[in-house]
């Protein structure tokens, strides 16, 4: 079984806690063959809405080279990015990508509520009722759809992210069952573009997206899918990689995807 984690953060992210070398060490210990670093490349400064126009690529390259020097004989190590909040400024997103070195992989992610909720960070979503949360999800999907139409990335990250924070902050179980028509609209945009989705292992909880949406994506012709832990600490590197491969098989997939210099490689499940 080929094991890869394609959503990992290091200290090159504001919320990362370990160096790339330490995360690579954990990947080797957990039996992975491939690891892709996807540190936060957001169009706004962390914790604010101030425009962001630069990223410390020199430090990222230094760290990835160190990780390869220490662990590259046992692990394929890729350099990618998680491009966040591109829908707030596609112009800034394009500049950030243009200034980057040649990346193996880019995740397109939305971490904010949509325009009707003032693009508040989902991390701080308040306690409320299910009607409020359904409106938040619908609003969030406005930005996901805009991001999908732009499409200058390889996979959509953690498509159903709001359910993580609704559960974390309010203890209310939610899903996207009331929004499947809108999710299908997103898939109708990305599948013809050759843009895929991520199956985020969500720290061992229900995957993001869940089985229902994974099956919908496959039924609509989706084939490109990566597996990512979203690890910010070493303990979660490769989290549920094996179990997620089995989930994908059950949903009709025959392969999952890794990337080298932006080109997909299909790994048998």
Q: How far apart are CA 213 and CA 109, in angstroms?
A: 17
Q: How far apart are CA 248 and CA 111, in angstroms?
A: 24
Closest to 79 in 3D by CA, of 105, 100, 58, 53: 105
Helices (H), the chain: 20-29, 57-71, 90-98, 130-150, 161-170, 180-193, 211-219, 241-250
The helix/strand/coil state of 263 is: strand
* pLDDT tens column, 122-144: 999 999 999 999 999 999 999 99
pTM given for the model: 0.98
Q: How far apart are CA 93 and CA 85, in angstroms?
A: 8
* pLDDT tens column, 41-98: 999 999 899 999 999 999 999 999 999 999 999 999 999 999 999 999 999 999 999 9
Domain ranges of the chain: 4-268
Work out the burial of residue 20: count CB atoms within 10 Å of its CB; fewer than 13 is exposed, 13-18 middle, 19 or more buried: buried
* 4-268 topology per CATH: TIM Barrel (3.20.20)
Say what the pLDDT of residue 87 is.
Answer: 97
Q: How far apart are CA 2 and CA 130, in angstroms?
A: 40
Mean pLDDT over 110-126 rounds to: 96
């Amino acid at each position: 079984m080929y094991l890869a984690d394609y959503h990992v953060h290091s200290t090159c992210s504001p919320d990362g806690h370990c160096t790339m070398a330490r995360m690579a060490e954990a990947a080797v210990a957990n039996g992975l063959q491939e690891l892709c670093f996807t540190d936060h490349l957001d169009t706004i400064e962390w914790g604010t809405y101030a425009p962001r126009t630069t990223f410390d690529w020199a430090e990222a390259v230094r760290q990835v080279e160190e990780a390869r020097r220490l662990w590259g004989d046992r692990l394929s190590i890729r350099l990618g990015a998680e491009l966040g909040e591109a829908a707030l400024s596609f112009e800034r997103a394009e500049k950030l990508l243009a200034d980057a070195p040649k990346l193996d992989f880019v995740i397109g992610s939305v971490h904010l509520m949509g325009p009707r909720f003032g693009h508040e960070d989902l991390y701080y979503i308040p306690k409320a009722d299910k009607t409020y949360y359904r409106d938040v999800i619908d609003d969030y999907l406005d930005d996901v759809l805009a991001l999908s139409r732009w499409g200058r990335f390889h996979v959509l990250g953690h498509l159903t992210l709001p359910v993580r924070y609704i559960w974390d902050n309010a203890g209310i179980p939610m899903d996207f069952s009331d929004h499947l028509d809108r999710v299908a609209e997103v898939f109708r945009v990305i599948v013809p573009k050759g843009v895929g989705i991520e199956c985020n292992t969500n720290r061992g909880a229900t995957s993001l997206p869940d089985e229902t949406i994974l099956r919908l994506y496959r039924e609509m012709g989706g084939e490109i899918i990566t597996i990512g832990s979203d690890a910010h600490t070493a303990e979660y590197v490769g989290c549920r990689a094996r179990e997620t491969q089995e989930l994908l098989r059950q949903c009709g997939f025959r392969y999952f995807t890794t990337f080298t210099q932006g080109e997909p490689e299909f790994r048998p499940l």
